[in-house]
Structure 1
Amino acid sequence: MEIKAAIVKEKSGRFSVETVTLSDPRPDEVLVRIVGSGVCHTDLVVRDQYVPIPLPIVLGHEGAGVVESVGRDVTRFRKGDRVVLSYHSCGHCPSCEEGAPAYCDHLMANNFSGKRVDGSPSITLAGKEISANFFQQSSFATHALATSRNVVKVPDSVSLEDLPLYGPFGCGIQTGAGAVLNTLNPRAGTSIVVFGAGSVGLSAVMAARLAGCTTIVAVDLNQARLDLALTLGATHVVNGKADDPVDFVRSITGGRGADYSLETTAVPRVLRQSVECLHARGVCGSIGLPPAGTEVTLDMLSILFGRTLRGIIEGDSVPTIFINRLIALHQQGRFPVDRIMTHYRFDEINKAVEETEKGHAIKAVLHME
């Protein structure tokens, strides 16, 4: 079928909305009419070729939409289901079978190859194959092919009008919230420092409030985002331009340091601060995505005396479970993630990207309809 898709044709290039041809769904695939998709940092690092998937490519991996049709082997979904699309996992490797699909042995191959799982293409432009199947969806388009492994049915209480704002739950939102609720799992009354007040970091701030943390520090260079963090659950904020975050955290914890920290920026010196602001047995979660080969230096004694540095993918989330838990919290008004979202028409995708990169938009959401 012919669909509209946003294509990047050259490194760091603009998105061009064009007509492409999408393959029919195979027996194990789900065809989804996309109504909205979040713009994520990961889309932009692939555009910039930090992760070198061949160009041209159709990106997008925070899609939300309505099932149009399913392949004959698909039994969990049917036409008309409202769904959110997330990352793909194989379902049969040791990590998947142990309940940790975010660490699937085939995560990179199945989400970053630009092809279907079997290596075949799904989109052509003017008769020529181009990269797609990003996170097995490529949701910067009016329609996307996905699989039963990365489609999440959402409650019938979610209106079609509200569905686009849940697209980002498929990656960025679940990454920040899950890093707190699933991985760090802080005890009530403890302290946490979140480095970076973007969509991932602010999701973590909101999750920390849900978890009962009583000291929640947000660190950023953008004062407007810090001001917003205070309304979303942060008890303290630090502007890294003016203050040293490590000294500040020590000052408000009686010199002891924080129980937990979360690094979302992928800046090496910030990761070091995230470790150094902890007390002796504190835990730092690292979720920023740097260019391949980025190195960081640490004082080995800071680790030797009990601190933990833990990498986290997709918030350690099992999407079919965790995304619907977050939706329920949002519907109850306890997880007000809509407050960090800015909405754009699909044909405004370059404006959405530009305002994201300038820091004007925290979480840009594209509306296809």
Structure 2
Amino acid sequence: MAARASTNIPPSLRAIWNSLEMTTTKAIVCHDTHANGGWKLEEVTVREPGEGELLVEMVATGVCHTDVLIGGIPGGAAPIAFYPRVLGHEGSGYVRKVGAGVTVAKEGDPVLLSFAFCNDCIVCKDGQPAHCGEFTPLNFGGPFNVFGKKEGGEADIGGVFFGQSSFANLSVVKECSVVNVKDTVTTKEDLQLFAPLGCGIQTGSGTVINAAQATEKDDIVIMGLGGVGLSAIMGAKIQGCKTIIGVDRVASRLTLAQELGATHIIDGSKLGDKSLGDAIKDLTGGNGPSITIDTTGVPALIKQGVEFTRNKGKIIQVGSPPFDFKLDLDLFSFMVTGKQFMGAVEGHSFPPVYVPKMIQWYREGRFPIDKLTKLMPLADYDKALAEMHDGTTIKPILTF
């Protein structure tokens, strides 16, 4: 069925749009926040891939807190939230069609999906695409109409979230978001297990390995032990860090952190009269950590992390704080202590290089991501979100 031009598409692109055919697929369409009942599993149409795009048949997609941040929180979540759209950004699947100019993969290749980047700005050319100058518009912007209502065929549903919108069985994916794994992944089961490597697991472990460049001399603290934080624990173990401290309030997460390599754990709900900083200093010879990673985005924890990190230490912000939060620093004191405060996105990773490394570590038994994950049918997305929030499941993976 030929697609009709959407009113959201600029006139200059309508001729191209009208030349594309539509295919029917299932997708979780975000019409409003999840809290308001706005996520619906629907049958929609998806257009053909254009230049620099691929049509990927998903076999799985991880669920990440960023999906909830953008499409789950009451009140619209963020300035970059809009509806309707298809979210999802930890996809894996097989290439079904390729658009003009695509060289990263061919039809039938298994692929893992990660974030989008321009590959043209000075930061991308310097090998740091996770901090691309166009990161926000490319990954969060839109509407980038890809999907449409089953009846009518109009492209009025946004796609290419993080270049992929993997909450759809068939989705149009940007070439830059594709990691071809035809030489390393041979089964559908492995492709499903590896789906979250392109975001949450990459973010956590990469922050330790690529951003912090941790070594065996480091005492490291990781605040928040969800999928990102526990992946950071695994990264710290790979790097052989001297002391690895995990901080959380959920007992099951703290126990799992120990299984994954934490040398110490702190239950933030059981500190009593002791401050978090004092508890951490007690475990680091009174010095505080040389590396502090916050995955929570909680302002009070961020402020404490700046204080208890030792002189010349690194504070790395990974969790998304409230959009109106401003961090006040006593600049003279901060200067004198020689501390570094930096942000990290996607673990400072270049996915085509870093994702295969994680697969190799898993096969060597050094990166047990299977302890974080749980496969669930796509239709169980409500249950997946609930279990992710209450700690029952660290990293739900929705399967098609």
Fold in common (TM above 0.5): yes
Structure 1, unpaired ranges of 5+:
none
* The one of 119, 122, 138 aligned to 2:165: 138
* The one of 37, 49, 57 aligned to 1:25: 49
Q: Name the counterpart of 1:322.
A: 354
Structure 2, unpaired ranges of 5+:
1-22
How much has 1:224 moved relative to structure 2? Answer: 1.2
The reply on whether 1:246 has 2:277 as its aligned counterpart is yes
Q: Name the counterpart of 1:331.
A: 363
Residues 289 and 308 of structure 2 are in contact (CA less than 8 Å); yes or no, is this contact kept in structure 1? yes
Residues 104 and 178 of structure 2 are in contact (CA less than 8 Å); yes or no, is this contact kept in structure 1? no
Once structures 1 and 2 are overlaid, which stretch shifts more, 89-98 or 290-299?
290-299
* The one of 281, 284, 287 aligned to 2:318: 287
How much has 1:289 moved relative to structure 2? Answer: 1.2
The reply on whether 1:45 has 2:72 as its aligned counterpart is no
Deviation by residue 1:212-242 (Cα, 9 ceiling, x = unmatched): 1020000001111101100100000000111
Matched letter for residue 262 of structure 2? A
Matched letter for residue 351 of structure 2? P
How much has 1:156 moved relative to structure 2? Answer: 3.5
Q: For 1:192 and 1:351, locate their aligned partners in 2 and report how far apart those are by CA, in whole Å.
A: 33
Once structures 1 and 2 are overlaid, which stretch shifts more, 308-317 or 6-15?
6-15
Matched letter for residue 355 of structure 1? E
Residues 160 and 174 of structure 2 are in contact (CA less than 8 Å); yes or no, is this contact kept in structure 1? no
Residues 195 and 264 of structure 1 are in contact (CA less than 8 Å); yes or no, is this contact kept in structure 2? yes
Q: Name the counterpart of 2:5.
A: none
Once structures 1 and 2 are overlaid, which stretch shifts more, 268-277 or 10-19?
10-19
How much has 1:81 moved relative to structure 2? Answer: 0.8
The reply on whether 1:2 has 2:24 as its aligned counterpart is yes
Counterparts of 1:217-366 in structure 2, within 5 Å, are: 217-243=245-271, 244-300=275-331, 303-304=334-335, 305-366=337-398
Q: For 1:301 and 1:355, locate their aligned partners in 2 and report how far apart those are by CA, in whole Å.
A: 44
Distance change (3 Å), C-alpha of 1:294 and 1:78: same
Q: Name the counterpart of 2:20.
A: none
How much has 1:360 moved relative to structure 2? Answer: 1.7
Counterparts of 1:97-246 in structure 2, within 5 Å, are: 97-116=125-144, 121-125=145-149, 126-127=151-152, 128=154, 129-158=156-185, 159-243=187-271, 244-246=275-277
How much has 1:208 moved relative to structure 2? Answer: 0.2
How much has 1:291 moved relative to structure 2? Answer: 3.2
Q: For 1:205 and 1:339, locate their aligned partners in 2 and report how far apart those are by CA, in whole Å.
A: 13
Once structures 1 and 2 are overlaid, which stretch shifts more, 259-268 or 65-74?
65-74
Q: For 1:50 and 1:300, locate their aligned partners in 2 and report how far apart those are by CA, in whole Å.
A: 32
- What is the TM-score of this pair, normalised by structure 1? 0.95
Number of residues of Structure 1 aligned to a counterpart in Structure 2: 364
Query: Secondary structure at the residue paired with 2:201?
Result: helix
Deviation by residue 1:277-318 (Cα, 9 ceiling, x = unmatched): 211111011000123222234454552211111100110000
Query: Secondary structure at the residue paired with 1:193?
Result: strand
The reply on whether 1:92 has 2:120 as its aligned counterpart is yes
What is the aligned-residue identity percentage?
Answer: 38
